[in-house]
Structure 1
């Protein structure tokens, strides 16, 4: 699954605890470093502006889809185009 704009990782933590294989795309290098440190070995982190990425290429086209807690500018449209769920849909679909 792809998480757009993980920020400091609250949704990331929730997903990792449930065993979701995750790629996080964060535009801010400092926040990306925070995610790398907090979830070392559990989350692949890409420093990029998701609006500049190709939707047909991995990691933006995973079979599991994408999600974002509070996606940055344009992130909502990215998730909609990718068919990704909202934060609440992810929560409702993911086993406890």
Structure 2
């Protein structure tokens, strides 16, 4: 069976993220999800060079970057939410 040729485009040049964090996610849930993303990115980064073919390195690197970006978005949104909540209490 012949595989179809697929091409992927790199999103490295994008300065935006296609996902946003929902404001009503509980802080603990957001941080737990961020930890999962970070763990997955770490595992992928450590194992990919040993198990992947060289032509797969770019998509695996991109996947790892996306996991890191999602974790970062969750953490930044969590901090922003906590700061906003604290500002309401301080008023």
Same fold per superposition (TM over 0.5) = no
User: What TM-score range do you get, normalising by the shorter chain?
Assistant: under 0.3
Q: Per residue, is there more helix in 1 or in 2?
A: 2
**Normalised by the size of structure 2, how large is the TM-score?**
0.22
Larger Cα Rg: Structure 1 or Structure 2?
2
**Normalised by the size of structure 1, how large is the TM-score?**
0.21
